[in-house]
Amino acid sequence: MLKRNSGTVILLALIMVACSQPNSSSSTGDPETGSLAKGADLAEAHQQAPTTVAGLDHALIKHGFGETMVALPAERVVVLQANDEDYLIALGIEPVAISSSLNGDELYSQPWLRSAYSGGFPVNLGPVTAEPDYALIASLEPDLILARQSNVGQEVYDALSAVAPTVAEPLPQTTGEFSWQEKLRFVGKAVGLEAEAEHQILIRQASILDAIRPFPSLKGSTFARIKKGSAGAWQIAGGSSASARFLKQLGLAFPSDIDDEVGASSWVSINKDISALISVDVAVVNGKPSDAEWLGASFPGLNLENIVWIEEQSLTDRALNSVTILSAEWLLDELVPRIAELVTVVLEPPTEDESAAMEAFRLVYGSETEWNEKQPHLENASQLRNANQAYRIGAEDNGGITLRPKSAQIEGNKATVVYDVYFGDAPAYNDLQRSLYLVEGIWQVTESDFCDFLSAAQTPCG
């Protein structure tokens, strides 16, 4: 029977749904739309990720400065890239040292890090732009040094490698910033926890799907991410920046004409050509509402009522500037509802025939539906009463199962229904499709379709 007794069961079910529903919103295979499958767009990312040839106790990792043999398990890890510690923590490893320009209480003010360390905080080696303190790093006796930042040159890399096995940037990045998935795979390979990395990616992607499910209007709404640069001029994030890629995972769309102008750059100053194109459904802007007049004068096509203001240096700003597998949870809780408030879609009400088809569909597949209500809409119903009773009993473990229709498309005597599955009051799967047929003026589910669904619920008809 269908159950949600553990997160693992939910994830496996999500994967199965994604793989078996080609028209589902969660089956595109694109890491930027939150899918659970790996699509063609991820092939290039995998080519740029470090290559690992793992033995029983070592991993050979190829990267931008050659290749490094890492003894496994790598448990004492020094991190020389800001925020990369998030990925180690997600894999169950607490770094012995990190690099950060923050100090004191501010260093661990992020909720996603505050409670992550069980054995005390790691050593702070200072800003990533500074030359590493080789003696201090050596005193920590690391198994591995993650030196993924772009300012590590050959000389620094050689000096670090003399202290401990060092892994640098995998390859020159040519398509914008790495996504949080790519970063986690990089770190997972480096410490020999590739399978765990994939597992954590699935968990986070499932949480993204859960977060956006109540807000279908996010899908396809256009966005822009805007901030003031160091010189005070407005800048816009490119579609391949980490923050834009995360926003696309929410179902938002980055306008193609702006993408053409910005190219692979993470941030660019907004010139007249780009300014003329900024007419989006929602703008995520670093600044304060008092900046609205200035912003409106700069971008006349921008609706000032469709702005989500992000206070500079706030937790949301820091989370969005460096989206990690941990900070993503904060964004799902704090940013997604604010964006959803501004994105509205007016849907046409269903026709009388569509409403009738959806109601018949709901009655047939609802585990709690009374038999006399279900029977007229089910082909060969008299032969399926025992199977329906077994389905009803089995669904009780989940608080009942309901298929909630969202829309119906009618072609001739066939209605294709898009629906969500609920266990009790909790959403389980979304945007699935099934069909039913008009027979002598009554919408009916075929015996084969009904039995196919019951088979998935482990209460087969036979």
Least trusted range by pLDDT, from 76-80, 172-176, 393-397: 172-176
Least trusted range by pLDDT, from 41-45, 157-161, 369-373: 41-45
Cα angle vertex 408, ends 337, 18, to 5°? 60
Whether 250 maps to a domain, the answer reads yes
**Where residue 63 sits, what CATH number does that domain have?**
3.40.50.1980
Q: Kindly tell me if the per-residue pLDDT of 33 is higher than 50.
A: no
Q: What pLDDT is recorded for position 345? A: 60
Residues 419 and 395 reside in one and the same domain:
yes
Residues 194 and 64 reside in one and the same domain:
yes
* 58-83 CB burial, b ≥16 within 10 A, e <16: ebebbbbbeebebebebebbbbbbbb
Q: What pLDDT is recorded for position 103? A: 59
Q: What pLDDT is recorded for position 123? A: 86
A 10 A CB-CB count for 205 gives 24
Strands 442-444 and 426-439 turn out to be antiparallel
Q: Kindly tell me if the per-residue pLDDT of 24 is higher than 90.
A: no
Residues 169 and 55 reside in one and the same domain:
yes
Mind listing the pLDDT tens digit for each residue in 321-342? 889 999 999 999 999 999 999 9
**Domains held by the chain: number:** 3
Whether 417 maps to a domain, the answer reads yes
Q: What pLDDT is recorded for position 91? A: 93
Whether 25 maps to a domain, the answer reads no
* Mean pLDDT for the stretch of residues 146-175: 79
Least trusted range by pLDDT, from 50-59, 298-307, 321-330, 391-400: 50-59
Q: Where are the beta strands (DSSP E) in 163-289?
A: 166-168, 223-228, 234-237, 267-269, 282-286
Whether 313 maps to a domain, the answer reads yes
Residues 268 and 384 reside in one and the same domain:
no
d(CA 447, CA 440) in angstroms, rounded, equals 16
User: How high does pLDDT run on average in the chain?
Assistant: 81
* Mean pLDDT for the stretch of residues 260-270: 85
The residue among 217 and 366 whose pLDDT is bigger is: 366
Q: What pLDDT is recorded for position 48? A: 40
Domain end residue (candidates: 166, 201, 236)? 201
Q: Kindly tell me if the per-residue pLDDT of 377 is higher than 70.
A: yes
Residues 244 and 283 reside in one and the same domain:
yes
- Which residue, 379, 391, 388, 401, is CA-closest to 445? 379
The residue among 233 and 361 whose pLDDT is bigger is: 361
Tokens 């659970």 belong to which residue?
A: 36
Q: Kindly tell me if the per-residue pLDDT of 18 is higher than 50.
A: no
A 10 A CB-CB count for 322 gives 17
Q: Where are the beta strands (DSSP E) in 231-344?
A: 234-237, 267-269, 282-286, 307-310
**Where residue 411 sits, what CATH number does that domain have?**
3.10.450
Q: What is the CA radius of gyration of the chain?
A: 26
Whether 7 maps to a domain, the answer reads no
Residues 244 and 303 reside in one and the same domain:
yes
Q: Is residue 108 very low, low, confident or very high in pLDDT (cuts 50, 70, 90)? A: low
Residues 119 and 90 reside in one and the same domain:
yes
Domain end residue (candidates: 201, 227, 256)? 201
Helices (runs of H) and strands (runs of E) counted in the chain: 20, 17
Is 247:225 a contact under the CB 8 Å cutoff?
yes
* Mean pLDDT for the stretch of residues 266-272: 87
* Mean pLDDT for the stretch of residues 134-146: 93
Domain end residue (candidates: 159, 175, 201)? 201
Residues 56 and 182 reside in one and the same domain:
yes
User: Hey, what are 140's tokens?
Assistant: 């920590």
- Which residue, 82, 85, 56, 64, is CA-closest to 144? 85
Q: What percent of the chain has pLDDT over 90?
A: 41
Residue 383 lies in domain: 352-456
- Which residue, 398, 402, 372, 396, is CA-closest to 385? 372
Residues 181 and 59 reside in one and the same domain:
yes
Residues 258 and 316 reside in one and the same domain:
yes
Q: Is residue 189 very low, low, confident or very high in pLDDT (cuts 50, 70, 90)? A: confident
Whether 44 maps to a domain, the answer reads no
d(CA 353, CA 436) in angstroms, rounded, equals 12
Residues 425 and 330 reside in one and the same domain:
no
d(CA 235, CA 232) in angstroms, rounded, equals 9
Q: What pLDDT is recorded for position 20? A: 40
Is 281:223 a contact under the CB 8 Å cutoff?
yes
Mind listing the pLDDT tens digit for each residue in 438-448? 999 999 999 99
Residues 335 and 361 reside in one and the same domain:
no
Whether 30 maps to a domain, the answer reads no
Whether 255 maps to a domain, the answer reads yes
Is 392:457 a contact under the CB 8 Å cutoff?
no
